[in-house]
A and B are shown apart, each in its own frame.
Chain A
Amino acid sequence: MPYIACHECDLVHRLDEIPPGGAARCARCGASLRRPKRDSINRTLALTMAGVILFLVANTNPFLGFRIGVQVRETILATGIYQLFQQDMKIIATLVLFTVVIVPAIHLLSMLYILVPLQLNLVPRHLARVFRLYMFLKPWGMMEVFMLGILVSIVKLVKMATIIPGVALYAFLALIFVLAAMAVTLDDHLIWEQIDYRR
């Protein structure tokens, strides 16, 4: 299908072959229509695997230690969310759990589910459903905002106590870059085009 409509202004364009690294923009509103990527599946899969490891490290290690007098408190992400649950801030706790743990986890798992078979020249079952879930949840993964939250918290606490950065903090930082790189290397149209719907 050489014709597409701009997803922001509905203008129809005829789309010729775009060289890798090039981009097609809407002639009327300037929205990005296509941006084919070099070696998209391979690179995104490599980043996803790195992301899975970093995700596990980030969620199982303490991200901040806090020392006041002789008391030392180390927090992993899950205990922080658990504290909010204890204080009856269940809605906020759920929101934090969802945006910082569940969505990035689904994000990484759905990419593995889609990209591993594609790399092996197979088309995974329910590809459309899984990729739609991925696209739907995309705006709700907010790790980079959480990272900024950690930095602001450190500034807030630094006068009260000694702050000890944990392993998870560095893993979080690396994970943010990996997730951002995944968003750059993934060519969503390439994924949609794997679906053979003319049966």
Chain B
Amino acid sequence: MGTDRLSPLTDQDRTARRMGMVACHHCHLLCRQPPAPADCPRCGAPLHSRKPNSIARAWALVLAAAVFYIPANLLPITHTTSLGAVQSDTIMSGVIYFIHSGSWPIALVIFVASVFVPLLKLLILSFLLISVQRRSRWRPAERTRLYRITEAIGRWSMLDIYVVTILVALVHLGALANIAAGPGALFFAAVVVVTMFAAEAFDPRLIWDGMEDRDDGKH
């Protein structure tokens, strides 16, 4: 692996930005920093040293997702009709149903994917945003790892949306047995999509920028 360990420069001096370079965010081609906004000569994507307005966009999306998270958990996601009786279920009541019926592994899977993961993702992203805004120097490698985790786990929250889709598709036998989607499902889908965009908006390079900015006191 070709890192030049003998270099007298510190890591902070060897970032592309410090060296007057830009790495394309799409194809990772390393280019000289263009004087005016320009596109990557190889893949044609706009060149940015950092994602534009990363912090503001990520905060806006995190806050929107946090707002949607409340109705997503309070409103019913399914209405089940069984022999004429209608029962409405929220995500939590579905989890509790599975615990009572003895299939606690399924209860755990739904709880983790639907309740725990979105909340964890919002908390981690908020923490990362605050730490970046305060130019924290605390454990950048670990914070980068946290960011990778949020990117990887978010998709699993779609689980309940898919379960609702399949139940609705299969169970529509009129008054005998029928399952319809409730309004909570819509908010829940919004939480998943918006948090995915929030993770995408955040630029992990900002975590490391905090390491160099204090060295010379300028941005």
List A residues at the B interface (Cβ < 8 Å). 1-16, 18, 24-25, 27-31, 64, 66, 68-69, 71, 73, 75, 79-81, 83-84, 87, 89, 91-93, 95-96, 99-100, 128-129, 131-132, 135, 139-140, 142, 145-146, 148-150, 152-153, 155-157, 159-161, 189, 192, 195, 197-198
Contacts and interface: CB of A to CB of B under 8 A. Distances in A.
B3 interface: yes
5 contacts: A5-B21, A64-B170, A149-B158, A155-B106, A192-B43
A132 B28 CA distance: 12
B172 to A, nearest CB: 7
Given A8-B205, A129-B44, A87 B168 contact: yes
A172 to B, nearest CB: 12
Nearest to A196: B42
B163 A149 contact: yes
A113 B70 CA distance: 43
Given A128-B43, A145-B158, A89 B21 contact: no
Contacts of B193: 95
Interface string B41-54: 11111000100000
B208 A75 contact: no
A128 B165 contact: no
B2 A10 contact: no
B140 A95 contact: no
Contacts of B160: 149
Contacts of B185: 89, 92
**Chain A CB within 10 Å, residue with most, of B29, B101, B161, B165:** B165
A75 to B, nearest CB: 5
Contact of B1 (A25, A140, A159): A25
Interface in B63-97: 82
Q: How large is the interface on B (under 10, 10 to 19, 20 to 34, 35 or more residues)?
A: 35 or more
Contacts of B109: 148, 152
| Pairs of residues from A and B, 5 with the lowest C-beta to C-beta distance, nearest first | A80-B169, A149-B162, A5-B23, A5-B16, A16-B2
A128 B28 CA distance: 13
Nearest to B212: A10
Given A11-B11, A96-B161, A28 B141 contact: yes
Contacts, number: 208
A31 B144 contact: yes
Interface of B: 1-4, 11, 14-17, 19, 21, 23, 25-30, 41-45, 49, 82, 98, 101, 103, 106, 109-110, 113, 140-141, 144-145, 147-148, 151, 155-156, 158-173, 176-177, 180-181, 185-186, 189, 193, 196, 200, 204-205, 207-209
B173 A73 contact: yes
Given A14-B2, A31-B144, A148-B159, A157 B170 contact: yes
A12 B49 CA distance: 13
Contact of A192 (B29, B49, B144, B168): B29
A64 B166 contact: yes
Nearest to A160: B177
A92 B44 contact: no
B68 to A, nearest CB: 13
A64 to B, nearest CB: 6
B3 A92 contact: no
B200 to A, nearest CB: 8
